[in-house]
Amino acid sequence: MAATTRGTSPVPPDVRPRLTVLSGPSGVGKSTVVAHMRTVHPEVWLSVSATTRKPRPGERNGVHYFFVDDEEFDKLVANGELLEWAEFAGNRYGTPRRAVLDRLEAGEPVLLEIDLQGARLVRQSMDDARLVFLAPPSWEELVRRLTGRGTEAPEVIERRLTAAKVELAAEAEFDTTLVNTSVEDVARELLTLMLQA
């Protein structure tokens, strides 16, 4: 009989979940997939990143991000308290190391939603981490998603598209690629990957 992690997802008794990293270009739907997975499978622990970015409307400290100033972020880096960190669009983002390790030691599935640079750093420090690349169905669809948000200036969209080309070219560095044609299907496939040894 399969064991269960806090109620809903069967975890084979001899399997210890690995760290799973979800990455992909901006606009591919990473946050949407993760939000769906967390709704259906709340037992999956999503690391909350620290960031120097200012909160957006509706974001709460400790829930969406740990909002810190530059000095505090510098201390986290200097003290080795971040598993990885990267700079994007003038702001820094990092994954608190201790929280991730504590969850993994407890045998809980852990998911990081981070950028390419962060995924590469995680691979260096935790070579058994599973890196999953979330790809768009097509370049045209990615452009449509980014421009359809209507929340960013054209120059920001252009920077994101330039970065997306670099990220798409790095797909081969990942263990698995999932194409985001259906949020529900991708979330289900991602959970299956997370529970594999």
- The domain locations on the chain are 3-194
The tens digit of pLDDT for each residue in 128-164 reads 999 999 999 999 999 998 887 777 788 888 988 999 9
DSSP 173: G
Contacts of residue 177, defined as CB under 8 A and 6 or more positions apart, other chains included, come to 132, 133, 134, 135, 171
Is pLDDT larger for residue 56 or for residue 188?
188
**Within the chain, what is the greatest distance between any pair of CA atoms?**
55
pLDDT given for residue 145 in this prediction = 87
* Band of pLDDT at residue 89, cut at 50, 70 and 90: confident
Q: Interior CA angle at 47 toward 94 and 181, to 5°?
A: 100
> Minimal CA–CA distance to 52: which of 86, 98, 24, 100?
86
Other C-beta atoms within 10 Å of 100: how many?
21
Q: Vertex 143, ends 141 and 144: CA angle to 5°?
A: 60
* Top-confidence range, 14-18, 31-35, 65-69, 110-114: 65-69
pLDDT of residue 22: 97
CATH topology (fold) of 3-194: Rossmann fold (3.40.50)
| The pLDDT of residue 9 | 45
Whole-number pLDDT of residue 43: 83
Q: Which of 46, 60, 160 is nearest to 95 (CA)?
A: 46
| pTM of this structure | 0.82
- How confident is the model at residue 26, as a pLDDT? 87
Question: DSSP 3-state helix, strand, coil percentages of the chain (rounded to 5)?
Answer: 40, 25, 35
pLDDT band at 1 (very low <50, low <70, confident <90, very high): very low
The pLDDT tens digits for 6-37 are: 334 444 555 566 899 999 998 899 989 999 99
pLDDT at residue 68 tops 50: yes
pLDDT higher at 174 or 89 = 174
